[in-house]
Structures are given as C-alpha cells and as structure tokens.
Amino acid sequence: MKNDIRFSGCHQYSVETEIHFYSPEPAAAPTIGGKPAAPVPLPGEFNAELDFEGEIDTDTAAVGDPSTAVLSRAITAKGLTLVPKGAVLHGRIARLDLSEGHHYLDLRFLYFDAVGRRIDIGDRENRFSVWNQGLSINSRIFGPFRGYGPRLRLTPGYSLFLNSRLAKTQ
C-alpha cells in the first residue's frame, strides 16, 4: 500500500493582533450648555472610600477584565465637592498571578464617571486597601494587592480605600 498526497490550491493565512489594556476608553468631550466642561482640578493627594462592585476570583478572572467601584463619600477640597458620592470608578485588572503561594492582584483604575462627567485618575499613583468581614488585603506600596492561599476572591460589598497622588515626574 502506498499513500500519495498532493497539495494544490493552498492558501496561507496570517493575523496580527494588538491588545491595549491601560488606555482609557475614548469618551466624548464633556459639555455644559454646549460649551466644553472644565477639567476637575483634583488635589495633589486625596483619599476616597469606595464600595467594590462585581467580582474578581483568581479561578476565573483574567488580566484586562473590567473592574468598578462606587464612591461612598464625595471627594472634597476647600469646601467644594470635586467628585460626588455615587460616582463610578472604572478600571481593569492589570496583574493577576500566583507566585510562591501569594496571589498578586493589581487594579488600574482610570477614571470616575460622575453624572456623565469623566474625571481621569489614570496618570496618578493610586494605592488601595480592601476590607470586608475580617479579610484585609493591602497594597502598602504603590503596587499590587497581595493575598495568601490557593485562591483570592473579591465580591461586592468589599470596602475599597483609595489613596491617590500626583505621579512623581522622572
């Protein structure tokens, strides 16, 4: 028995893909009465308390997945409300891995959506702490959360504490 194979009319296919996770989604320029809205001047450093939404489970989550939190108290400066209570903070998972028994989770929050107004924080240094029912996950330096054990899971109801400051220039 002899097998004879001939290739004819073959095609070659290729694809090129780029994935970008850290760029804020494009948004229409905010307007008030048809005129461009002024940017919100955030203080050089501020603290905020948020309620985590959604779920992050190291068994199913992936880098790039969206993440949101709701501002539980307004961000104010000099008696003025800069970001109102209820504003939604949008971001993505930037790092999610397991190394030597420690889970590392880095959330990169990019902007607040405050009643249709976008307030960017993606160019700032943002540090987070998470607390709920005895479980504390801290980011003591400007970097990822670190959790212990075979699984890290954040669910709605976690309190998220944000410290945001202007990035140091190089």
Contact status, residue 95 vs residue 128, Cβ threshold 8 Å: no
- Residue found by looking up tokens 């461009």 in the block: 36
Confidence of residue 151 (pLDDT cuts 50, 70, 90): confident
Domain that residue 45 falls in: 40-165
Res 56 pLDDT > 80: yes
Q: What is the mean pLDDT of the chain?
A: 78
Does residue 7 belong to any structural domain of this protein? no
* Cα–Cα dist 152/167, whole Å: 29
Confidence of residue 150 (pLDDT cuts 50, 70, 90): confident
**Each residue's pLDDT tens digit, 117-136:** 899 998 888 887 776 544 44
**Each residue's pLDDT tens digit, 74-95:** 999 888 999 999 999 999 888 8
Q: Which of left, alpha, beta for 59 (phi over 0: left; psi -120 to 50: alpha)?
A: alpha
Does residue 109 belong to any structural domain of this protein? yes
Does residue 24 belong to any structural domain of this protein? no
**Each residue's pLDDT tens digit, 20-55:** 665 445 455 555 455 556 677 899 999 999 998 988
**Which domain CATH number covers 118?**
2.40.128.260
Q: What is the CA radius of gyration of the chain?
A: 22
Does residue 26 belong to any structural domain of this protein? no
Query: Higher pLDDT residue, 49 or 138?
Result: 49
As for how many domains the chain has, the answer is 1
pTM: 0.71
Identify which of 56-65, 130-139, 149-158 has the greatest average pLDDT: 56-65
Does residue 89 belong to any structural domain of this protein? yes
DSSP state of 33: T
**Structural tokens at position 122:** 């993606």
At residue 147, the pLDDT reads 66
